[in-house]
Amino acid sequence: MTDQVAVRMSGIVKRFPGVVANDGVDLEIRAGEVHALLGENGAGKSTLSNILCGLYRADEGVVEVAGRQSEFSSPRDALNAGIGMVHQHFRLVPTFTVAENVVLGESDGSLFMNHDQVAARVQELSDRYALAVDPTARIWQLSVGEQQRVEILKVLYRGAKVLILDEPTAVLTPIEARSLFATLRAMGEEGRSVIFISHKLGEVMAVSDRVTVLRGGRTVGTVDTSETSTRDLASLMVGRSVDFDRVVRATPADTDTTVLRVEDVSVTDDRGRVSLHQISFTIGRGEIVGVAGVAGNGQRELAEVISGIRVPIAGRISVMDEELKLGKARAAISSGIAHVPEDRLHTGLAAGHSVEDNLALKNYRSVQISKFRLLKRRAIREQASTLVERYDVKTPDTVTPVRLLSGGNVQKVLLAREFSALPSVLIAASPTRGLDVGAIETVRERLVAAADEGVGVLLISEDLDEILSLADRILVMYEGRIVDDLPATGADRERIGLTMGGSNTTEAVK
């Protein structure tokens, strides 16, 4: 590692409608270093790296590559400047060979491809960096780890000097991850720089030379890995001693009455990997249970299995002591489980449908709304006007499609429907993400009001402050397991930060 700067990004600002993803971020990458970019989801890591690799353009700020100011209008521009990105979701053609995928999109002007030459070059690269993969194999035959190596080879083949890896270990087994780390170090020794995006503290400590921590779209600091500890990184990542007000509850939780009981539930994700390992917990009447954790550690599957969208491979769930028919959304709805999903516009709502139709999305089968299988349009409209008024939804009329509403109003429509069903359990997944301050306040008030009325709330959020200020109890999830269960009053955010990042609890408590 030298002190020569390969990439310098300064004052990067990137705004998306309603959110500032990067708010004056500085990042400096030296030649030959493995530089970790650490932060919670939504901290701005992906936006920053997408700017660097040419997918987005910064609204403000300067990118310098090897000392020269650069602006990329496409990933190809970035690659020409020596910057390549390995995305979390692979971009490979399954029926093509490794070599074919490596040269895909790379045109040297000739019509034909010299297979042998490409294969030889790919082989050479794969030997040099210990990226074991057969250049003639077809992608569909390869494991996920091998496919990732192909993605890395693709970038190396194009001569990238700076490689960005977006959460590369998320898809890997521990052994594959270890071999990836060896590869990254080999690249560093050759003078290439690696930007390693992660939120797992252990990995960051194991593989990086330096770490830049982002929080809330800003750079919190850059430290030498050898001079820091998991503990320090954790507190940098989640922020420390920001004073927050615990919400004062009108009616305290009644933990003697259980409204939701989850027992030994195991679930596989869309790729068939086990993503929840025998999860068990209960929620009391009027209790808000916060689920803390970095996204992708099983929270989505947890919400889905309780609301009946996902079929578990094992376990039992009961609502008000009545066992729930699992994997049936209709059963979950009728037994009083309300669900505010993360993906509001496409899961929680039918975006192209009107406000009134969306407000009837879950009770259109009820006698108030339909009779003899015919819809009572007038009842639908009346229900909508009542709810729009009660929940203060800003919409021109009830027939406006919800996709035309602002983010805050979209969420209000969703909450109006879910709360008005008078549920006994409410699952709220990132209910305030992407909303403006005013809307966040409203949503939080509604959640607390629901709990005061006796609803058991499962609040899944990556915003630790939110959980700390709203929840009565906190569950910390890591890799599909509940690794910690603690009361929210007086909770130690460092301990939560550490357990979220995968450090074990006992060490953290010490």
Partner 1 sequence: MRSPLRLERRLEQPKRLNWVIPLISLVAALILGAIVLWVTGKNPFEVYQRIFERGFAGRRVFSDSLVSATPLAFTGLCAAVAFRMGLINVGGEGQLYMGSLAATWVGITFDNIPTGLMIVLMAVAGMSCGGLYAGIVGLLRARFGTNEIITSLMMNYLAAILLTYLVYNSFSYWRDPVSGNFPSPRAITQRAEWNTFAIFEIGLPIAFLMAIAMGFIIWFIYKRTRFGFEVGVIADSPKAARYAGIRTSSTIVLVMGLSGAMAGLGGAADVGNFRRYMDPKGLELSGYGYTGIVVAALARLNPIASVFVALLMGGLNNAGYSLRGPDFPSGLVGTLQGLILFSAVAGEILIKYRVKSNSRPSEAVAA
Q: Which residues bind partner 1 (CB under 8 A)?
A: 65, 68, 70-73, 77-78, 80-81, 307-309, 328-333, 339, 341, 343, 346-353, 357, 360-362, 364-365, 370, 373-375, 377, 404
Q: Which CB, 377 or 394, lies closer to partner 1?
A: 377
Nearer to partner 1, 220 or 361 (CB): 361
Shortest spacing between CB 472 and partner 1, in angstroms? 27
Looking at the Cβ atoms of 83 and 238, the one nearer to partner 1 is 83
Strands 288-292 and 456-460: parallel
| CA 183 – CA 13 distance, rounded (Å) | 32
Both structure tokens of 374: 């015919």
507: its two tokens: 């060490």
Q: In the complex with partner 1, which residue's Cβ is closer, 162 or 234?
A: 162
Q: Which residue's CB is nearer to partner 1, number 308 or number 408?
A: 308
Least distance in Å: CB of 45 to partner 1?
Answer: 22
Residue 71 or 224: the one with the smaller Cβ distance to partner 1 is 71
CA distances from 472 to 74, 303, 425, 487, 497 (A): 47, 19, 15, 6, 18
Cα within 13 Å of Cα(311), Cβ side: 3
Nearer to partner 1, 160 or 474 (CB): 160
CB of 405 to partner 1, least distance (A): 11
Cβ closest to partner 1, residue 191 vs residue 401? 401
Distance CA 26, CA 10 (A): 4
**Is 284 or 341 the residue whose CB approaches partner 1 more closely?**
341
Min separation Cβ 71 and partner 1, Å = 6
The residue assigned the tokens 């929620």 is 283
State the Cα–Cα distance between residues 378 and 364, nearest whole angstrom: 12
Q: How far is the CB of 92 from partner 1 (least distance, A)?
A: 22
CA dihedral 42, 48, 51, 52 (to 10 degrees): -150
User: Closest approach of Cβ 409 to partner 1, in Å?
Assistant: 15
* Least distance (Å) between residue 309 CB and partner 1: 6
Beta carbons within 8 Å of 489's beta carbon, 6+ residues apart: 246
CA 180/CA 48 separation, integer angstroms? 23
Dist CA 98 CA 153 (whole Å): 9
Spatial distance between the Cα atoms of 313 and 41, rounded to a whole number of angstroms? 28
Amino acid at 238: V
Are 336 and 290 in contact by the 8 Å Cβ rule? The answer is no
Contact 285, 486 (CB under 8 A): no
Distances, alpha carbon 41 to alpha carbons 20, 214, 378, in Å: 14, 10, 43
Residues 6+ apart with CB under 8 A from 399: 354, 355, 356
3-state SS, residue 234: helix
Output 66 or 137, the one with its CB closest to partner 1.
66
Minimum distance from residue 329 beta carbon to partner 1 (Å): 4
Q: Considering the complex, state which of residue 145 and residue 408 has its C-beta at the smaller distance from partner 1.
A: 408
Kindly state the smallest distance separating residue 77's Cβ from partner 1, in Å.
5
Q: By 3-state DSSP, what share of the chain in percent is helix, strand and coil, each rounded to 5? A: 35, 30, 35
Contacts of 10 (CB under 8 A, 6+ apart): 26, 61, 62, 64
Phi, psi of 363 (to 5 degrees): -115, 20
E strand segments, 244-347: 254-268, 274-285, 288-292, 314-319, 322-323, 337-340
The least CB distance from residue 63 to partner 1, in Å, is 8
Q: Which is nearer to partner 1, 113 or 361 (CB)?
A: 361
Residues 6+ apart with CB under 8 A from 11: 24, 25, 26, 60, 61, 62
Q: Least distance to partner 1 from the beta carbon of 340, Å?
A: 11
